[in-house]
Copies of this chain bind each other. A is one copy, B any other.
Amino acid sequence: MPASDLTIGFDADDTLWHNEVIFERAHERYRALLARYHDTATVDRTLFGIEMRNLGLYGYGIKGYTLSAIETAIELTGGRISAEEIRSLILLGQEMLAHPVDLLDGVAETLAALSPRYRLMLITKGDLRDQERKLGKSGLAGHFAHVEILSEKDTAAYRRFFERQQIAPERFLMVGNSVKSDILPILELGGAGVHIPYHLLWAAEKAEPPPAQPGRFFTIATMRELPDVLQRWAK
């Protein structure tokens, strides 16, 4: 049992393990495939537009990305892309889904140190099967009292989550790499947030950081700094 009634929520992708870098590498191969048809900027802009249009139907995750990438490739080549090239996109998606889980620096040690003292929860969005797979491979599952996989991480979704889990927002702190999905909704609900920027950020997650809120909003460079922040927050 944790020593305190404080709950720490952790985002998963690019907070506990590398994720966007896998998309980035896949996207470089995607650009190369379409390079004889269009410049990089056109490919990026068109794919992003189609991803955003499909987001309501597909939700987050690699399967939706793959379908949008195929749709974009057909559109950008005027149907000249070959079936074999489309097959290579399907295989690219499958490679992404089978990718090993690489933990970020300091994550394993920090979670092991915190889990006896706080109630830790994993709160992530995206594809159910894929997030469960990554958690299973991460070796971190035993540290979490609860795992929540949401289809969206906005204020309404966190509010329902707090109700279901009977969490008082002022006893809750969220740790994540996305200001938009991990910090702003939590601050709005009265909780605290720790932002750990990752060197890559998907365009759909871009948001302005909130104004300074001493004692409620912290920015750190690595997970190793989290225990110190918790000391300052829990005072």
Within A114-161, the residues touching B (CB, 8 Å) are 127-130, 132, 149-151
Which single member of B57, B70, B94, B150 contacts A54 (CB below 8 Å)?
B94
- Please measure, in the bound complex, the distance between the C-alpha atom of A132 and the C-alpha atom of B98, giving whole angstroms: 26
Q: Are A79 and B70 in contact (CB under 8 A)?
A: no
A104 beta carbon closer than 8 Å to chain B = no
The interface-forming segment of A41-49, A59-67, A193-201 is A59-67
Q: Are A79 and B87 in contact (CB under 8 A)?
A: yes
- Please measure, in the bound complex, the distance between the C-alpha atom of A80 and the C-alpha atom of B83, giving whole angstroms: 7
Q: How large is the interface on A (under 10, 10 to 19, 20 to 34, 35 or more residues)?
A: 20 to 34
Q: How many copies does the complex hold?
A: 2
A230 beta carbon closer than 8 Å to chain B = no
Residues in B whose Cβ lies below 8 Å from that of A20: none
Which single member of B90, B97, B127 contacts A128 (CB below 8 Å)?
B127
Known: A82-B79, A83-B77, A151-B128. A57 touches B90 (CB 8 A): no
- Please measure, in the bound complex, the distance between the C-alpha atom of A211 and the C-alpha atom of B149, giving whole angstroms: 37
A169 beta carbon closer than 8 Å to chain B = no
Given A63-B67, A74-B90, A132-B151; 9 other pairs, CB 8 A cutoff: A58-B129, A70-B86, A71-B87, A71-B90, A74-B83, A74-B84, A79-B87, A80-B83, A128-B150
